[in-house]
Chains A and B, each alone.
Chain A
Amino acid sequence: EVQLVESGGGLVRPGESRRLSCAASGFTFSSFAMSWVRQAPGKGLEWVSSISGGGRATYFADSVRGRFTISRDNSKSTLYLQMDTVRVEDTAIYYCAKAPGEWPSYYYMDVWGTGTTVTVSS
């Protein structure tokens, strides 16, 4: 069974850093692109970032570019989101999601994790 489990959420002060992880199982992790999508309280979904299966290609939303970094360790089947200089508006549930192919371009998200909640507050 394909499974994605996020961790690393919690309370973060504005301006600080946090790293989120997403542990994958049930599929050949390196063969599939992965993404992070977030959902602020009571709001819709916002795509954050995507990375190719090999990790060479990355994409970011303007709202996080320069502050967030996406990476992956294919030997550990784990996806990461390094969040630096966080802002109050980064408060959200962060979901990791799998694409059905190696390159994220022109691919939707076919499996989603249950999410981890990040709260940015002083």
Chain B
Amino acid sequence: EIVMTQSPATLSVSPGERVTLSCRASHTFSSNLAWYQQRPGQPPRLLIYGASTRATGVPARFSGSGSGTEFTLTISSLQSEDFAVYHCQQYNNWPWTFGQGTKVEIK
């Protein structure tokens, strides 16, 4: 099983700041990684797939990068609606596995 580890667990930031979230895999794989955003009381929403491709309707301020064991989600300028929990997920190997999530909160 590929263990996904996200860091930090919580990030306190101000609106307008640049944010970088990390997701590390226990085993290397290519680019079968997705990022999801989950606002309080809402289901997850797909942001990024293939490690770097934005899903339909996702603002350009969201970008993903990485391969192997290190992956990154960057939000270039945090907006009020971006305060949420972000989950990474690998879909390269069964079982699919998620990171524990990073909560982005208002500073």
Contacts and interface: CB of A to CB of B under 8 A. Distances in A.
B29 to A, nearest CB: 10
A59 B94 contact: yes
B70 to A, nearest CB: 19
Interface of A: 35, 37, 44-47, 50, 59, 61-62, 95, 105-115
Q: Binding site of B, secondary structure by majority: helix, strand, loop or mixed?
A: loop
B43 A115 contact: yes
How many of chain B's residues touch chain A, expressed as a range? 20 to 34
Contacts of B91: 105-108
Contacts of B45: 112
A62 B46 contact: no
B43 A47 contact: no
26 contacts: A44-B87, A44-B98, A44-B99, A44-B101, A45-B89, A46-B98, A47-B96, A47-B97, A47-B98, A59-B94, A59-B95, A95-B43, A106-B92, A107-B91, A108-B34, A108-B46, A108-B91, A109-B89, A111-B46, A112-B43, A112-B44, A112-B45, A112-B46, A113-B43, A114-B43, A115-B43
Interface centre among A47, A59, A115 (most CB of B within 10 A): A47
Interface string B50-94: 000001000000000000000000000000000000010101101
Interface of B: 32, 34, 36, 42-46, 49, 55, 87, 89, 91-92, 94-101
Contact of B46 (A35, A95, A110): A110
A44 B101 CA distance: 6
Contact of A106 (B32, B46, B87, B99): B32
Q: Binding site of A, secondary structure by majority: helix, strand, loop or mixed?
A: loop
Nearest to A112: B43
Interface centre among B42, B43, B87, B95 (most CB of A within 10 A): B43
Nearest 4 Cβ contacts at the A-B interface:
A108-B34, A47-B96, A112-B43, A45-B98
